[in-house]
Amino acid sequence: MLSNIHKIAMVSAIALAGCGVSLAGAETASSPVTDPHFELAPGYLAQKDLPDSLVLLGPPPAEGTATLARDEESRAATIPLRGKPRWDLARTDADLAFPQPAKNFSCAMGVDIDEKKTPHLYRLMQKVLTDAGLSTYGVKNTYNRTRPFVVHNEGTCFPDQEPLLRNDGSYPSGHTAAGWAWALVLSEINPGRTDMLLKRGIEFGQSRVICDAHWQSDVDAGRIMGAATVAKLHTNAEFLADVAAAREELKAAGPVEASSCAAEAAALSAQ
Task: Catalogue the active-site residues.
Answer: 175, 208, 214, 218
Residues 6+ apart with CB under 8 A from 26: 2, 5, 6, 8, 9, 40
Do 133 and 174 contact (CB within 8 A), yes or no?
yes
Q: Go through 205-231 and write b for each residue having 16 or more CB atoms within 10 A of its CB, e for each that does not.
A: bbbbbbbbbbbbbbbbbbbbbbbbbbe
Give CA–CA dist 23/244, Å, rounded: 27
Do 70 and 216 contact (CB within 8 A), yes or no?
yes
Give CA–CA dist 55/173, Å, rounded: 16
